Amino acid sequence: MSASPSTITELAPATVQPRAPALPRLLSGIRAQGALSLEQHLAVHGPLPATGGGRRRARERAGMLIAEIERAGLLGHGGAAFPTAAKMRAVASARRRAIVVVNAAEGEPASLKDRTLLESLPHLVLDGGILAAEAVGADEVIVCACESAGAGIESMARAIEERARARSERGPALRLTAVPGHYVAGQESALVNFLGGGPAKPTFTPPMPFEQGVRQRPTLVNNVETVAHVALIARYGAAWFRELGTPTQPGSALVTLSGPVAHPGVYEIEHGASLSSLIRAGGGSTARLRGVLVGGYAGAWVGAPHLEGVALSNEHLAPHGASLGAGVVLLLSEHACPVAETARVARWLAGQSARQCGPCVHGLDALATTLEELAGGVAEARVAQRIDRLASLIARRGACGHPDGALNPILSALETFQAEFADHARHGPCDACSRPGELPLPDRPVSEATARP
């Protein structure tokens, strides 16, 4: 079992593989620039298992595919790590014809994995979308890309054209849609709302998308990386999938590594690989670290003293209150002030509210203000009680997961950097507070803060 992450800069020659190599899996055959054409994609992975046949045969195959995905233990890669097979079963059991939405609407400014898949491996994504459609009996696959992912959109549009030209048998209709780039647009209900002609904002649930989604039809919303794994599981099987990863989180994952590291970018790791092996694969850190934000802006901090033993799987991250989420790993250098950075992140997260639910609109704003006061050394007395009170007024009171997700990095920063927060509350700003922010936010997006390999 190999624990070393592989980078998209290590280019393997495209050869026909009877089995995909250990790592990279998803990133096999990837080029430094541009997409794999249909021909190149087929040279790396071979054709999809046979499709076609009558309706009865299609239903049998659908059941077998879902069972294989279940045996593989694939969990969703959009952030929530929900079992993919269970989600597919819920959609497949609905009476009406289903729709598949491939979610690459990545609004997380520190994540590049979704756009990397669209840009470089569009045919692997389409394979996965077609298989997902087969699994749930859908006649349509809609790929939703973030409108800011221009190169990804172009590449996917070309791939869909290639498929249309090459297709010899009938399959689901393939569509591509650009989705507004704000943070909550990628929430499942927001995508469904948008595809139904509404704003890209979350809606009140139930009904859940799997019950009643796009055009009132049962809708399977899967992250783009999730369906890419499906494309590999259908070819190489569940046992192969489980050769990497941990028993509770099998397989590999794409992670976006950024911050003070020699080669930031998208890496494929096996679940359970050590954080230090990922940083080594990224050429090593270029500064001493103060902490690592795992899971991005809905994730949690791991402080410098604990970094050595950290393994990148949800089971190993749970004691730190973190999870891998959508695979964002953000390093923070010791030159940065974690208090100022947290206040910045809190203000940005407050601004990303869809402004639909009172507790989210007012609560996140009040929390950001409190953190700014704390960072500036002008916080009221009993500020800790104020933060606890605000957190209790925010948690579980929104229609979507944004308010709860936003609490994670903020509350975890307060715990991880306790000494720094106490110091600011007593003495005001530190020297590092005046430095420009280090964590990538839209004023400093990750694509600029880090050069893609």
CA distance 96 to 116: 33
Cα–chain center distance at 322: 14
Instruction: Figure out which of the listed residues 13, 197, 206, 305 binds another protein, where binding follows CB under 8 A.
Output: 206
Q: Check residue 198 for interaction with another protein (CB under 8 A).
A: no
CA distance 165 to 180: 29
Q: Check residue 356 for interaction with another protein (CB under 8 A).
A: yes
Among the listed ranges 169-177, 203-211, 236-244, 440-448, the one in contact with another protein (CB under 8 A) is 203-211
Cis amide leading into 206 (omega within 30): yes
Q: Is the dihedral of CA 444, 445, 450, 452 positive or negative?
A: negative
CA distance 273 to 242: 14
Residue among 29 and 202 whose Cβ is closer to another protein: 202
Q: Check residue 221 for interaction with another protein (CB under 8 A).
A: no
DSSP 8-state code for residue 178? E
Among the listed ranges 25-33, 199-207, 226-234, 311-319, the one in contact with another protein (CB under 8 A) is 199-207
User: Cβ(266)–Cβ(254) under 8 Å?
Assistant: yes
Q: Check residue 36 for interaction with another protein (CB under 8 A).
A: no
For residue 136, count other CB atoms closer than 10 A to its CB: 27
| CA dist 106 → 88, 114, 117, 294, 372 (Å) | 21, 6, 11, 16, 28
Q: Check residue 208 for interaction with another protein (CB under 8 A).
A: yes
Tokens 């690459």 locate to: 104
Q: Check residue 83 for interaction with another protein (CB under 8 A).
A: no
In the complex, least distance from residue 302 CB atom to another protein, rounded to whole angstroms: 27
Q: Check residue 196 for interaction with another protein (CB under 8 A).
A: no
Residue among 145 and 399 whose Cβ is closer to another protein: 399
Among the listed ranges 104-112, 331-339, 352-360, 408-416, the one in contact with another protein (CB under 8 A) is 352-360
Among the listed ranges 276-284, 302-310, 331-339, 391-399, the one in contact with another protein (CB under 8 A) is 391-399
In the complex, least distance from residue 228 CB atom to another protein, rounded to whole angstroms: 26
In the complex, least distance from residue 211 CB atom to another protein, rounded to whole angstroms: 9
Among the listed ranges 114-122, 272-280, 397-405, 437-445, the one in contact with another protein (CB under 8 A) is 397-405
Helix pair angle (224-236, 113-120), 10° resolution: 60
User: Cβ(410)–Cβ(346) under 8 Å?
Assistant: yes
User: Cβ(214)–Cβ(279) under 8 Å?
Assistant: no
Tell me the three state secondary structure of residue 223: strand
Build a one-symbol-per-residue string for 146-185: x at contacts with another protein by CB under 8 A, - elsewhere.
Answer: ----------------------------------------
Bridge partners of 333, per DSSP, are 289
Q: Check residue 203 for interaction with another protein (CB under 8 A).
A: yes
User: Cβ(102)–Cβ(172) under 8 Å?
Assistant: no
Instruction: Figure out which of the listed residues 96, 198, 204, 418 binds another protein, where binding follows CB under 8 A.
Output: 204
Instruction: Figure out which of the listed residues 49, 52, 53, 358 binds another protein, where binding follows CB under 8 A.
Output: 358
Chain residues binding another protein by CB under 8 A are: 202-208, 356-360, 362-363, 393, 397-399
